[in-house]
Chain A
Amino acid sequence: MSLAQRIAWLLIAVIVTAAALASWIVPASYDRQFRDEIQAPPSKAHPLGTDELGRDRLSRLLHGTQVSLLLAPAAAFLATLLAALAGTLAGWRGGWLDHALESVCDLTMSLPWMFLLLTVRAALPLDVAPMTSVAITFFLLGALGWAGPARVVRAGARALRDSDYMLMARAQGYRGWRLPVWHLLPGLRPVLTAQFWTSVPLFILAEANLSLLGLGVVEPMPSWGGLLKEMESLPAIGRNPWILAPAVVLLMTLASLYVLMGAKEEEA
């Protein structure tokens, strides 16, 4: 394992552990307001200071990390699941189903991803409870992010469908759903795993973008995108450089994921 991979693992471990132990590290809830300490600089009680509503920034960062780190893999799982269903069915059956899926994928992928995300999110109710906003963001990312992975899965399913071992399975008289389920799907596991891990950083960024624009996770629930809003004013960054902390954590997480994914690809 290279030095970069070790550092990447260490960073991911630290970030995940800190997010998991958020309530223990910072006892203050992410929405508790310290009215006497509005926009306070870092101190022993508030290591990253407080925001304009007097809420502890570290608490919000750690709880926001929890939300973003759970939301992105969950959305990636949903997108991979949809891609597996659509791609396997199209690759396995071929014919009009395959052509239909190809057309839908082409159409979905020809639209700019962020534009599509913003349009669909804007069409949905915006004035919702924080947990509902999390659920909407999760479903939106998953439901709109399946097209790219589905094309890859479809190509894999087609290749496996024409393989010698599938021919042997047919020659043995396999019938019905057992052929695709028992023989095809296990062979697609590496493709699906790769698609899942490729989607995670994409969805982290997508969630951050949505929340930054006020279309993702809503206040007072924190997420990385929501926390990045504080960086909108350049003079504010100069005065309070610690508000860069969410951006630094986001960058470290993405960089670490890409380093680890690159290593995985090299192994494959």
Chain B
Amino acid sequence: MRTRSLCPPPWRNRAGDSLMNSLLHLRISAGYTGRPAVLDGLDLSIERGEILALVGQSGSGKSSLALAALKLLGYKGGWVRGEVWFEGVDLMKLSERDMRCYRGRRISLVLQSPASSLNPWLKLGTQFREAWVAHRPEEASLWRCHAEEALEWVDLPADFLNRRPGQVSLGQAQRVLIAMAILHKPALLIADEPTSALDVITQAGILQLFARLNQQLKTAILYISHDLLSVASLAHRVAILEQGKVVDSGGVDEIFLYPAHPFTRRLIAALPNISWADSLGGLMKGLRVVDSEATMENGPAFAVKDPFAVKDPTVTASRPDLDSTIGIL
């Protein structure tokens, strides 16, 4: 029996406005009922294949932005107003039914708490199957094949499908979530502080994984974090969020080496040790390809090589203790 496709073929440009040519362009205000707006006239865009890091203090609205982009903020008691252009379509104008066609298929989300993001009552295989069937009911029987492929991407064996969330570590659970997020090869992956609950070694593995996904699957990533070091190592571009607005944005080198906005300077200055920050600056200089297009082409620095193998005259300090610094940050 032929099954009717649940989603219309929507991924075409419906407008010629340059604003709509970005992969995702947000112009929104958002907040929670009875409280001041968390995002106030925020304007942010992300290009195809780009890793954009969104940095801000706790409570600055980073997680609200992630949910607002998927029109999920209402489920947390919030509201969103404005425009969310994705692949030329204003998602704000879509019905909940049409919006479901984008969620998980074209835009995926990875939350910061892997332990609570997986349904503890269901086997991982069941959760993969449901995530597959949600968008490909006509190919339901193929779910295992695609789930195993997604698990392979995140370096997990296929037998994880038989496990329950309680039987995997935090790091493995985060990899499982990422595997579910890439099940339909989305154009955009929104990662909301995906490493904040993980130890430094696992963090490094997850960052490498993001870099690999970006390079090989060409998935754009909106990486939301307050961890400057991970941002520096992964992102192509950084946007600084303060009081619900993007106050600064630019290439990684530009933001870290020549911070323009006072808040950006405060963030950089908040690094625990000034000599360390100098080292980081030198490091960035030596490591980064200044031309952002070239960076996009070559992928993020994280995946390129060991940063400390780079010979740079500006790096005068000895090799810093990365693990402890990530912990402090």
Query: Which secondary structure dominates where chain A touches chain B?
Result: helix
Is there an interface contact between A168 and B134, defined as CB atoms closer than 8 Å?
A: no
Given the known inter-chain contacts A171-B103, A171-B104, please indicate yes or no for A165 contacting B134, CB distance below 8 A: no
Is there an interface contact between B117 and A172, defined as CB atoms closer than 8 Å?
A: no
Residues of A within 8 A of B180 (CB): 172
Asked if B167 is at the interface (CB within 8 A of a chain A CB), the reply is no
Is there an interface contact between B75 and A170, defined as CB atoms closer than 8 Å?
A: yes
Partner-contacting stretch, out of B108-116, B252-260, B288-296: B108-116
Asked if B144 is at the interface (CB within 8 A of a chain A CB), the reply is no
Asked if A29 is at the interface (CB within 8 A of a chain B CB), the reply is no
What sequence of 0s and 1s flags, for each residue 93-122 of chain B, a beta carbon within 8 Å of any chain A beta carbon? 000010011111100110101001111111
Asked if B76 is at the interface (CB within 8 A of a chain A CB), the reply is yes
Is there an interface contact between B116 and A165, defined as CB atoms closer than 8 Å?
A: yes
Is there an interface contact between A186 and B119, defined as CB atoms closer than 8 Å?
A: yes
Is there an interface contact between A182 and B130, defined as CB atoms closer than 8 Å?
A: yes
What sequence of 0s and 1s flags, for each residue 51-71 of chain B, a beta carbon within 8 Å of any chain A beta carbon? 000000000000000010010
A185 to chain B: closest residue by CB: B121
Of B102, B103, B113, the contact of A164 (CB 8 Å cutoff) = B113
Least distance between B28 CB and chain A CB atoms (Å): 17
Is there an interface contact between A173 and B103, defined as CB atoms closer than 8 Å?
A: yes
Asked if A174 is at the interface (CB within 8 A of a chain B CB), the reply is yes
Q: Which of A168, A169, A175 has the most CB of B within 10 A?
A: A168
Is there an interface contact between A187 and B103, defined as CB atoms closer than 8 Å?
A: no
Asked if A189 is at the interface (CB within 8 A of a chain B CB), the reply is yes
State A182–B119 Cα separation when bound (angstroms): 10
Is there an interface contact between A163 and B116, defined as CB atoms closer than 8 Å?
A: yes
Residues of A within 8 A of B177 (CB): 168
Residues of A within 8 A of B108 (CB): 171-172
Q: Which of B101, B109, B130 has the most CB of A within 10 A?
A: B130
Is there an interface contact between A171 and B119, defined as CB atoms closer than 8 Å?
A: no
Asked if B72 is at the interface (CB within 8 A of a chain A CB), the reply is yes
Of B76, B105, B122, the contact of A167 (CB 8 Å cutoff) = B76
Given A167-B72, A172-B134, A182-B130, 9 new contacts (CB under 8 A): A162-B76, A167-B76, A168-B118, A169-B119, A171-B70, A173-B101, A173-B105, A183-B122, A186-B122
Question: What are 14 A-B pairs with beta-carbon distances under 8 A?
Answer: A162-B76, A164-B113, A167-B67, A168-B111, A168-B177, A169-B130, A170-B75, A172-B134, A173-B100, A173-B104, A178-B130, A178-B134, A182-B130, A186-B121
